[in-house]
Each structure stands twice: as structure tokens, then as C-alpha cells.
Structure 1
Amino acid sequence: MAEIKTVSIIGLGALGILFGNHLSKKMPEGNLRIIADRKRIERYEKNGVYCNGERCSFHYVTPEEIVEPADLLIFTVKFNGLEDAIQAVKHHVGPNTIILSALNGISSEEIIGSTYGMDKILFCVAQGMDAVKAGNRLTYDHMGMLCFGEKEPGLFSEKMKRVARFFDKAGFPYEADTNMMKRLWGKFMLNVGVNQTVAVYKSNYGEIQKEGPAREMMIAAMREVMALSEKEGFPLGEEDLRYWLKVVGALSPGGKPSMVQDVEAKRYSEVGLFSGTVIELGKKYGVPVPVNEELYRRIREIESTYAVAD
């Protein structure tokens, strides 16, 4: 199989800018393509997109443009934009394209795979970044990394090797994980705890790094995911909880997860992807999830004021 030479990214949120900015400096111009509709491209070109104060140099293509399929396609959209994004990337997917989805939650890979084939998918999580996006400007201290792997445990497949070789060459932080589904569930547990708790407290990472009610709430929400992970066949234990709490501890205290940024901007959040999923799985397995029910209620309550405030 050929080496990865062309990369397409869809979604210029925090992760899209973070990854795109890094790769744009390591790849020949035109080999990295940012997919966006005409209106967005005009806005990006007029106002610029900035990463840590520096204007990004991006090559944009519209969904309609006929291009050579990408060797690597990365989804960095919000979950509510996934269906549109799947349609928008159709010219970028060929027989040998590898697809990574950096979306939160545990369902985006299967959704993308149902259109383009699970054989193209590597399961993936983005972790350890503390990027904050305000308008067209992104700031971060920690770039974090992408972790990827196959659904079946123990595999270090040719697809994984191709991505690893490319990331090595591009100096892009990554981990190739041979127990990827456990990692995916671990990241889901982290998001369910961190994003929602910090959003409800309208605070930052510092709030959950110290002892107190917010941290207790976060850990209780995470434990509910642990109970469900066992039922789903990817059991998370105390060691996993300690690992992810360490990840939380390393984040910049003033940083904020995307859900808080949504609340501050009065945008509807991904709560359905987090406690919404937990509540559904709780019903499916008869597992009580009171903390996530409370988080869901409180975030929906915050969101219910948006229309009035606008």
C-alpha cells in the first residue's frame, strides 16, 4: 500500500484548526485540503483563521470540487454536523482512503462506516488538548494527541502502520492502540464526566482538578459509564479511572472543554451524545444513572433559556 501523501480535513473547529495548522507546515501546499462550503471559505479567507496568534495558511476546497481521493480523511466536525459532513467528503474517499473521526462519543465511526465501509475506518480519540476557540482564533498550551486503532483488540494492522509512519514523518503526536475500544470508552467516560460537569458549573478545568462538589459529581458520572462499559463488553476499572483523572490533572486549569464554550456562546451542546447516550444505555441494561440524568436535565435547562435570551 502506498504511503500517505494527501490529507483532507472537514470541520474547522478547535481540533480542525489545531491539526490543520500543524500539518500545513509539514506538507507540500495543496496536499492538505480543508473541505468547507463556499460561504465559509469566503469568510475564512477574508477574516483569516488564527492558531496561537499566527494566521493559518490553509488550502480550501468546496465539497463539489472534483479532487483525487485523500489517502487520509479526518473528521473534526461537531456531532450535529456529521451527516452533512459525510455527504460533503464524497469526492475525497477512494478505495485506499483511511478515515479517522476525532468526534466525541462512541458512535461516529459506525455512522461514517455505514456510508463508506468499516474497512476504511480506524477508531480514534483525540485527547490531552486544551484548545480554546473564540471566533476565528484558537489558543492552546497542550496539543494533545490522536490515538487510533482497529476495533478488534491485539491488531496492529497495515492501516495503523500507514498512519503511524505518516504521523512520525509529520512530527504529529499520536499513539497506535491495540486495545482501542477500551480507549474509546475511556475517553467517553472522561467526556461524560468533565465536559458536562464543567458546563453545569460554568467554570474551567481548575474547578474539577481540586477537591469539592464539582470533582465529586464528575467522578460519579464517570462511574456510571464504568458500569455500562462492563455490559457493553469493554470493561473499565479503577485503574482506567485513575489514568483518565491523571489526563484531567495535566490540563491547563484555565482551559475549558468545548461544551462550556458552547454554553458561553449560547450554542446547543453535545449533551445528547454524552448523558443522552448514558441514559439510553442505562435503560437498555437496567443500570441506574442518576448523576447523568441530573446533568442532562441541568444542561437542557440552561439551553432552554437561549431562545428567550436571544
Structure 2
Amino acid sequence: MEIKKVSIIGLGALGILFGHHLTKKMPKNDLRIIADQDRIGRYQTDGVYCNGERCEFHYVTPEEKCETADLLIFAVKYDGLEDSIQAARNHVGENTIILSLLNGISSEDVIGKAFGMDKILYSVAQGMDAVKVGNELTYANKGMICFGDREFGVISDKVKSVEAFFEKMELPYQVDTDMKKRLWGKFMLNVGVNQTVAVYRSDYGEIQREGQARDTMIAAMREVIALSEKEGVHLTEADLDYWLTVLGTLSPEGKPSMAQDVEAKRFSEVDLFSGTVLELGKKFGIPTPVNKELYERIKLMESEYESSYF
């Protein structure tokens, strides 16, 4: 199947970054950004900017009837996933391929229950150092999308279709035949990087150099390695080294999404990161003290700025 119609839901950092890239490569009306009317009004009035350039997006409301998407990309925060599933229903047809760029290790299953797991390819966005402030996104490294089938060692026709499309669009990508391990590896990185930078109120540079923050990050990641053994994923120190190498490519002045949330006094995805680690630790009887401390410190920060609203 040739991919021609693409729909994206979510204009956070990843939605803007990859959406803006695609606007340069495909007809405007073939790329649809799904958003409610209020958001569309704000986007059109205030603009959406990527590295200083105004994005020329074609917006559609969830109610609008349209051709179903050949490729549907979810790029929302996890707490908005259920609403976005409902908003995207008009874009899902019999042959639609779905990619989820959400953090964590559970969004594919949630989306798959709604639309069918046969439509899902597992995917991970990695290597980007995008920072979004208000309606403006800046980045130095675009990173790439890694994707593949749920089943180990398989390269399906759906994967080949997405690969051909990304090649045509000149969008950086990598096909992976062990996507469960890739998802867990990115989860491990997020658990360490997002939470540590948020707690230390710093940036990537702080955890790229030796010191207490980097030690905390690595300790949190090693707790995920221990849990992965129980889940049959078997992350190793080699995987830790791989993701630390990815971290080393990011702009030192950049910040992950959780740090940006804390600065803006928004509630973060801490429950998706250390919250999940604590649940799995309890399930398997594995101590996770570093993630417990990170969880408690982030929840404390959120409670303090929550009280400032009143």
C-alpha cells in the first residue's frame, strides 16, 4: 500500500517537529492535523512555529468527514490519549496504519483495543532535543522514528509501506525487528532523563557530565533493567550504554518534556515513568528506591505549584 493521506493528532513537540517536516514534502491537504475548533482557532490566530518558521498546517475537526488516513500518528500526552482516540475515529479505515509516539510502554495496547492491534506498528521517537515554549518549538537535532512489528524478527508489508513513505519524505527513521526491547529501552531512558532533569531543574548538559545528577539518572535506569528481566525483555548494560550514547548527541541546552512541564507548572507524566516503575517493582518484589525518591520529589513540586493557583 502506498501512503498518501496522513493524519496527526497532537501538536506538542513531536507533532510540530514531524508535521512541519512533512509539510515540506507532501501536498498540504494530504496532511491533516486533527484538533477541536477552539484549538484550531488559537493555532490560526497565534500561529505555530518551528525553529522560527510558521507552520502551514491543514487543520480538521474530529467531526469533519474526510478520507481515512493511510497513516495515523498519535503525538499527544498520555493523559490525553483516550480523548484523542475518540477524536481520530473518522480517520481510521480498514487499511490505516497507526504509529504512537507517546512515552511509556502501554499506549500501543490502548490504541489497539480501540482500533485493532492489526493496525498498530510499535514505534519510538528518539534523539530529538526539541523544546516547546508556548506556540514555538526549537530544536537542534531532529532525531528519528524507529518502528517495527510487534512480533520479533518480522518485517511486514505495513512496515515496508511506512519505510517507503519515510524514504520518500526524507524523514529520518530506523526499522527495528525487536520493538519490545526498543520500547523498554526508550522507557528506561525517559525514566532516567526526564525525571532527573526535572528534579534538578537543569538541562541535558547537567546529566551529560559526571556528577550527582548523572549518577541519579543511571541508578534510576538500572532499576528498569532489573524489572525488564521479569518482563522477559532482558535489557542489559549494553542497552544502557546505547541510550547514554543517544543522550550524548542532544544539545546540552535542551530539556526533556517533564522539565518543561515543571517549569511551566503543568502536571507531568511522572505516573507514566516512576509510577509505572513502582507498580512493577511491587508486582515483582523488586526494590526501586531511586524511582521512589524521584516520584515523591516530583509529586511534591507539583503539589506546591498546584497550591499557588489558589
Q: How does the TM-score come out when normalised to structure 2?
A: 0.99
Gaps of 5+ in 1: none
Residue type at the aligned position of 2:269: E
The equivalences for 1:219-298 within 5 A come to 219-298=218-297
Give me the whole-angstrom Cα distance separating, in 2, the residues matched to 1:112 and 1:208: 33
Give me the whole-angstrom Cα distance separating, in 1, the residues matched to 2:4 and 2:40: 23
Give me the whole-angstrom Cα distance separating, in 2, the residues matched to 1:102 and 1:20: 13
Residue 89 (structure 2) pairs with residue 90 (structure 1): yes
Residue 83 (structure 2) pairs with residue 62 (structure 1): no
CA shift digits 1:261-290 (9 cap, x unpaired)? 000000000000000000000011111100
Give the match for residue 151 of structure 1.
150
CA shift digits 1:154-174 (9 cap, x unpaired)? 001111000000000000000
Give me the whole-angstrom Cα distance separating, in 2, the residues matched to 1:205 and 1:290: 23
State how many pairs are aligned.
309
Give me the whole-angstrom Cα distance separating, in 1, the residues matched to 2:233 and 2:261: 30
CA shift digits 1:241-279 (9 cap, x unpaired)? 100010111110000000000000000000000000000
Give me the whole-angstrom Cα distance separating, in 1, the residues matched to 2:11 and 2:28: 18
Give me the whole-angstrom Cα distance separating, in 2, the residues matched to 1:72 and 1:231: 34
Give me the whole-angstrom Cα distance separating, in 2, the residues matched to 1:307 and 1:202: 18
SS in 2 for 1:30: helix
Give the match for residue 9 of structure 2.
10
| Identical-pair percentage | 71
Give the match for residue 109 of structure 2.
110
Give me the whole-angstrom Cα distance separating, in 2, the residues matched to 1:221 and 1:137: 31
Q: C-alpha displacement at 1:57, in angstroms?
A: 0.4
The equivalences for 1:72-87 within 5 A come to 72-87=71-86
Give me the whole-angstrom Cα distance separating, in 1, the residues matched to 2:162 and 2:77: 23
Give me the whole-angstrom Cα distance separating, in 2, the residues matched to 1:145 and 1:48: 25
Give the match for residue 171 of structure 1.
170
Residue 31 (structure 2) pairs with residue 32 (structure 1): yes
Q: C-alpha displacement at 1:228, in angstroms?
A: 0.5
CA shift digits 1:44-75 (9 cap, x unpaired)? 00111000000000000000001111000000
Give me the whole-angstrom Cα distance separating, in 1, the residues matched to 2:237 and 2:137: 34
Give me the whole-angstrom Cα distance separating, in 2, the residues matched to 1:107 and 1:256: 24
Residue type at the aligned position of 1:248: L
Q: C-alpha displacement at 1:152, in angstroms?
A: 1.1
Q: How does the TM-score come out when normalised to structure 1?
A: 0.99
* Structure 1 stretches of 4+ moved >6 Å: none
Q: What RMSD over aligned residues (CA atoms) do the two structures have, in Å?
A: 0.5
Residue type at the aligned position of 1:64: E
Q: C-alpha displacement at 1:309, in angstroms?
A: 1.9
Give the match for residue 44 of structure 1.
43
